[in-house]
Structure 1
Amino acid sequence: MKNFVDVDEKLPILKTIPLSFQHLFAMVGATILVPMLTELDPAIALFCSGIGTLIYILCTKAMLPAYIGSSFAFIGAMAVATSNYGTKGMLSGIIAAGVVYVIVAALIKYAGSSWLDKALPPVLIGAVVIVIGLSLARTAADWAGLIPQIAADGSTLPTDYRVLAVATITLAVGIIGSMYFKGFLGIIPILIAMVVGYIAAFIFGIVPEEAIKEIIEADIIRIPTFTTPEFNFSAMIMMAPIAFVTLAEHIGHVYVTNNVCGRDFTKEPGLHRSILGDGLATIFAGLVGGPPNTTYGENIGVMAITRVYSVWVVGGAGIIATVLSFIGPVAMVIKNIPKPVMGGISILLFGIIASSGFRVFVENKIDFGKKKNLIVASVVIVLGISGAVLSFDVNGAPVDINGVALATLVGIILNLVLPEKSKTEEE
């Protein structure tokens, strides 16, 4: 007798709702952190996460249980694009990244995926993931109160130990939860750490009275902040290449889901349908003002623990996320999460992202005695975290490529151009 719930099984609603909340809790901490880092409305991220999941389920013919949430890979590029071209211009870059997904899905359907493996080898993906994590490190330290603040007269302000204490408590809970929590609690240490950090912020008195008032007086129903995009070629060029990084992450999640569920989803409904769903979810987010989306590994962990693989449960989580995005008090609580709380958890989260790049190297047994691997990784990491910018004009309009986008493009070119062995290695 089987002891799991299969992909296409429909459960009674009283069982579906709690399981759907488990999926939602597993990703909500990371999903709402992305818009807060990029000055978007956290409620719109929750809305795009829910609708994006439903779009994904439709594209995969309700056969692949995966939840869609905000992607960390785009944070650096989103911040730069917003600063240079405004939020509306940045959103056009998100749409461009989604279009890349759609194009790749079409190519995989008709030409297979072997070409993608050649363009994005593990050494390149690992290096770019390291760049994503390290490029965000200063932001995390700043929010945690560890970067000296400069006063108007040029002097250095003393450290605010209340801020440092809240960040430390949040970080400590995140570390303890990751190491010692079991079962479902072990899947949601980020959410638990943020809740504990929020409580600590209240105790230390660093939550402004205006924020408390905003939470208490919030309307029960609140419409998320929808924003329409404006075409900006520079933002599109900056953000589109990052889609190749999240594509590799997406494909990895599909293969892990294969192992967990005991099915080959690359054949039915097909890898191209999965990528198409992710791409359309990202395009939708760009059209309404949300962050780009990606599949979440946390929810694969929930399925592995509960042994419930039902698409109905995942779809229920999408519906709940959409509804919660319109609940005013929930939106205000999320909006007013103190920066020390985000700083504390970001030290752990961004570090984990960077360490995931090294994990890619280890799991794929990358040989750095091989000069091609050494060169690709070295150039990508330096270009990605140095602040290097490539600027040029297109019909009189300035276009900038920097950060993760520049590192990814150069890495792809180097990987395709360089021979597998240097002349010395051939000898």
Structure 2
Amino acid sequence: MDIERVTTGIKRMFQGVQILFVAFGALVIVPLLTGLDPNVALFTAGIGTLIFQVVTRMKVPIFLASSFAFIPAITYGVATWGIPSTLCGLAAAGLFYVVLSAVIRVFGIGVVNRLFPPIVVGPVICIIGLSLAPVAVGMALGMDGGVQVVPVETALILAGVSLLTTLVIFTFGKGWLKLIPILCGIAVGYALSATLGIINYTKIVEEAWFSIPAFTLPEWNLAAILFIVPVAIAPAIEHFGDILAIGSVTGKNYLEDPGVHRTMLGDGIATFVASFIGGPPNTTYSEVTGAVALTREYNPLIMTAAAVCAIIFAFIGKIGAALHSIPVPVMGGVMILLFGLIASLGINQLVRNRVDLSAQKNIVIVSIILVTGIGGLFIPIGDFKLAGIGLAAIIGVLLNLAIPETQEVKAE
């Protein structure tokens, strides 16, 4: 046996574990917040990453995992139609990516920029974060599904400590530590919760070490499709930014080779497969891009190792049980920062692209998207209704195409 080859393999596996460690906190939060199974999310992150690598010919060092953009849609869908029907809508969102990749291949990326410019995508991303604000605050106050599960005084202490830890690591952390603020915040909050004796370890003890993840198949539901698919517009556009970011780190133009149509196709198929077996939609992780920049290790095989590790961890039942034991206020404290950051990313889209908000067209589009999205406007379509973030995104696209370019808003 070639010792050097074995050594290289062990090194890559260790690097893969590091990548998974960086992505882990954000990866498991989505299923924990939406009622999906975290072990399934681990499995679909691994499978999704491998699918992405096959489609992109092993050229892009990216790890795919749970997308935060779909949290409001999943939460509403699960409460309204149940998990199987919601998965149908999420799988359709994956197919939307596939269609978008075909459009890019035929017409070029310019048509996508025309349909989904920053003036539309920016406020839609803002809505994603702002619509989740009540959820974060409620959890920080110790409430779960409208029920007070932890006394308010205790909940505020746990949420405050978790939030402060996350803030400190996010602001002052160095090296690898800076890449895992969410994980650090949850870990410190969990430790304090254990000290206060409010963690129930029963399920952790009872759960087997080896356990098949709770895979769930989708059920056809047109209402869920109409509600969820438009939500995919924002993360689809963010995909381009993520590909540009990893390209700037590695010094390669992935928009040309393997081509953004291939990266979008890989993301779409990965999301479809993930949703088809009960996992959240996939997306590229900026934390992993930061890890690649830090280590200067650009070999996509490291992401392969991370994907294999994620699949292995998915079959460790006690991991899921331990994740479900995290107290609600701990999650709430971390979510206050995280959901605020999502809203800030939407603002950043407008700033970075120098969108002129003194122009009448732009201010009209932003205003209507924000109010319709946050206000909960819906359009009934027979027995279905188009609502929420998806409706706001569609309205933004139509307004951008219909309203002619205008001059600056004149002062009164």
Q: Equivalent residue for 1:5?
A: none
Q: Equivalent residue for 1:86?
A: 82
Mapped contact 2:142–2:328 kept (Cα < 8 A):
no
Residues 1:408 and 2:404 are matched in the alignment: no
Of residues 245, 255, 265, the one that matches 1:276 is 265
- Equivalent residue runs for 1:6-405 within 5 Å: 12-145=8-141, 160-208=152-200, 212-393=201-382, 398-405=383-390
Mapped contact 1:162–1:206 kept (Cα < 8 A):
no
Over the matched positions of the two proteins, sequence identity in percent amounts to 37
In structure 1, stretches of 5+ residues that fail to align are 1-8
Offset at 1:159?
5.4
Counterparts of 2:312 and 2:390, CA distance in 1: 34
Offset at 1:150?
8.2
Mapped contact 1:148–1:159 kept (Cα < 8 A):
no
Matched position secondary structure for 2:82: helix
Counterparts of 2:397 and 2:217, CA distance in 1: 32
- Label 1:191 to 1:158 Cα distance change in 2 as closer, same or farther (>3 A): closer
Mapped contact 1:166–1:197 kept (Cα < 8 A):
yes
Counterparts of 2:309 and 2:276, CA distance in 1: 21
Counterparts of 1:158 and 1:223, CA distance in 2: 31
Structure 1 window deviating more from structure 2 (354-363 vs 227-236): it is 354-363
Offset at 1:68?
0.4
- Label 1:150 to 1:178 Cα distance change in 2 as closer, same or farther (>3 A): closer
**Paired AA for residue 351 in structure 2:** V
Mapped contact 1:92–1:231 kept (Cα < 8 A):
yes
In structure 2, stretches of 5+ residues that fail to align are none
Matched position secondary structure for 1:168: helix
Offset at 1:371?
0.8
Structure 1 window deviating more from structure 2 (186-195 vs 77-86): it is 77-86
Mapped contact 1:26–1:188 kept (Cα < 8 A):
yes
Mapped contact 2:142–2:150 kept (Cα < 8 A):
no
Residues 1:419 and 2:404 are matched in the alignment: yes
Matched position secondary structure for 1:400: strand
Mapped contact 1:10–1:312 kept (Cα < 8 A):
no
Counterparts of 1:148 and 1:49, CA distance in 2: 27
Offset at 1:387?
1.7
Counterparts of 1:186 and 1:167, CA distance in 2: 20
**Paired AA for residue 98 in structure 1:** G
TM-score scaled by length of structure 2: 0.95
Counterparts of 2:150 and 2:277, CA distance in 1: 42
Counterparts of 2:184 and 2:139, CA distance in 1: 19
Mapped contact 2:102–2:261 kept (Cα < 8 A):
yes
CA RMSD of aligned residues (A): 2.1
Runs of 4+ in structure 1 deviating by more than 3 angstroms, as ranges, are: 146-151, 156-159, 422-425
**Paired AA for residue 368 in structure 1:** L
For residues 22-44 of structure 1, give each alpha carbon's deviation from its aligned partner in whole angstroms, at most 9, with x where no partner exists: 21111111111111111111111
- Label 1:95 to 1:412 Cα distance change in 2 as closer, same or farther (>3 A): same
Mapped contact 2:41–2:280 kept (Cα < 8 A):
yes
Mapped contact 1:44–1:226 kept (Cα < 8 A):
yes
Mapped contact 1:145–1:164 kept (Cα < 8 A):
yes
Offset at 1:423?
10
Aligned pair count? 406
Matched position secondary structure for 1:279: helix
- Label 1:10 to 1:244 Cα distance change in 2 as closer, same or farther (>3 A): farther
- Label 1:157 to 1:274 Cα distance change in 2 as closer, same or farther (>3 A): closer
Mapped contact 2:358–2:408 kept (Cα < 8 A):
no
